[in-house]
Structure 1
């Protein structure tokens, strides 16, 4: 469940990051081009994903711990996206492999 919350937060923040007009972005994926062309839809989708992630964290961890953990996760994801995205390290296959491994590890340890 925590992996899914992290994925929702990462994707939601990435949508909002891709709609930014101040960030010098290069669009090498079709999804990034679509988000840049449809900024209003991209912002709404990003906000909805972030809200779903927050609600999931609160339901899974409780009210106080869920909000605190989610804000910590959001700070981590935001820092990583802002620092690593200009280096083009966040490629789709790498993200999918990392998320699958994280989900398998979470299920195995639970």
Structure 2
């Protein structure tokens, strides 16, 4: 469940980040071209994904700790995207390896 929350948070924030006009977003994942062409739809989808991830976090952890945990997830994911995207380190390979590692850790520890 935590892996799904992190994936939805990453996807939602990344689609909102890819619609920015202030800086040039490098096209690594091919979703950036769609986000730039249809920025209104991409922002709406990103916001919905972020809301769904928050709702799942509240469902899993409860109201108080769910919101607090989700804010920590969102700050971590947002910081990583803002730091790693200009360095061209966010690719399908790194995303899939990271999610696989998180998925394995989630099921081995919990």
Q: CA deviation at 1:41?
A: 1.0
- How many residue pairs match? The answer is 110
Number of the residue aligned with 1:79: 79
Give the TM-score normalised by the residue count of structure 2.
0.94
- Deviations 1:55-81 (CA, angstroms, capped at 9, x unpaired): 000000000000011111111111111
Q: Which runs of 4+ in 1 moved over 4 A?
A: none
Number of the residue aligned with 1:99: 99
CA distance in 1, matches of 2:102, 2:29: 24
CA RMSD of aligned residues (A): 1.1
Number of the residue aligned with 2:11: 11
Q: CA deviation at 1:4?
A: 1.0
CA distance in 2, matches of 1:54, 1:60: 10
- Deviations 1:20-63 (CA, angstroms, capped at 9, x unpaired): 11122122332111111110111011001100000000000000
> Residues 99 and 28 of structure 1: is their aligned pair in 2 closer, same or farther, counting only changes over 3 Å?
closer
User: Where do 5+ consecutive residues of structure 2 fail to align?
Assistant: none
Q: CA deviation at 1:101?
A: 1.9
Does 1:40 pair with 2:31? no
